[in-house]
Every structure is written in C-alpha cells, then in structure tokens.
Amino acid sequence: MRRQRGFTMVELIMVMVMVGVLAAIGIPKLMGGNTTGALVFGDQVASALRHAQTSAVSHRRVVCLATTERTLVMRIRTAPSTTTEPCTAAFGPLLQRADNDTYDSSDTTVTMTGAPANLYFQPDGTITDAPAGAPLGNVSIAIQLAGKTQRTIAFEGSTGYVE
C-alpha cells in the first residue's frame, strides 16, 4: 500500500489556531490603535499628580504642576512664599524624579483634556488652581487617543486624593 501525502487534521487545526492568535494580536497594531500608549500616558499623569502631592507634603513647600495637552512639568518652591508667581522658572526649580523632570506623551494622537493649566499642591495636601487659592473640588482629566477617551483620572482638591 502506498503512503498518502498531506497534513493531518491536528496539524491543520494547530496552524489555524496560531494564525488566529497572530491576527488577534497583530491586526490592532497594524490598524494604528495605540491604546497602550494612551493607558501608559494616563498612568504617568496619575503618577505625576500623586508625586506632586506627596512632595508638597513631605518638603512642606508648594509644588506647581504645569499642564499642556501632552506634557506635565513640576516645579517646587524653594522657600515658603505667598506670592502669586506663575508656574514658570521664577516659581522654583524643577522637581526631580528618578528618570527625568517632565512627564510627556511622545504620541501626537494621545492628549490630555480637562486639566487646569496650573495646579498648585499645598503643603497641607490640598490642590488649588492658584498659589494661595482655595482647594479645588472634584476634577476629572480625560486621556484621549485620537479624540476618544481611553481613561479618566479624577482627583479631589480638598483631600488630594487621586484615582
């Protein structure tokens, strides 16, 4: 009897499963859906808010967080002051982190909306929109990918709680 050539049913099913897994992983990457970039930037924003708040409390100094659509820059007041200087180099030096001083999104399709231009973290743990202002209420910041919200970060100005 002559041996027949071809693939077994098990081999064909395994190839179909592998093609399905590769398609499930690869197609979103090829279609430009960078949801991972948006989620990572959202984690960076939440981390920056927490870092600024804990730094203000631990150093007993006002920390300013200047925001744009894609960046957050933190500055710390070097001496106690009640002046109303804006969050620029005159406010104080950059607040140091382990890797660099700016949280930013390098992806131009990932943006942040709803954040005040300047947030001031007070030594008592509250968050204001002016160096000597009243605590903010609930504030929501949306992290968007190509205009579609991927993550919402909320914080309470009177307690400094970030979720």
Q: Which domains does the chain have, with CATH numbers?
A: 35-156 (3.55.40.10)
**39-60 pLDDT per residue, tens:** 888 888 888 888 888 988 988 8
pTM: 0.73
The pLDDT of residue 98 is: 46
Q: What is the torsional sign of CA 147, 149, 150, 152?
A: positive
Read off the pLDDT of each residue in 7-18 and give the average, rounded to a whole number: 94
Read off the pLDDT of each residue in 107-112 and give the average, rounded to a whole number: 82
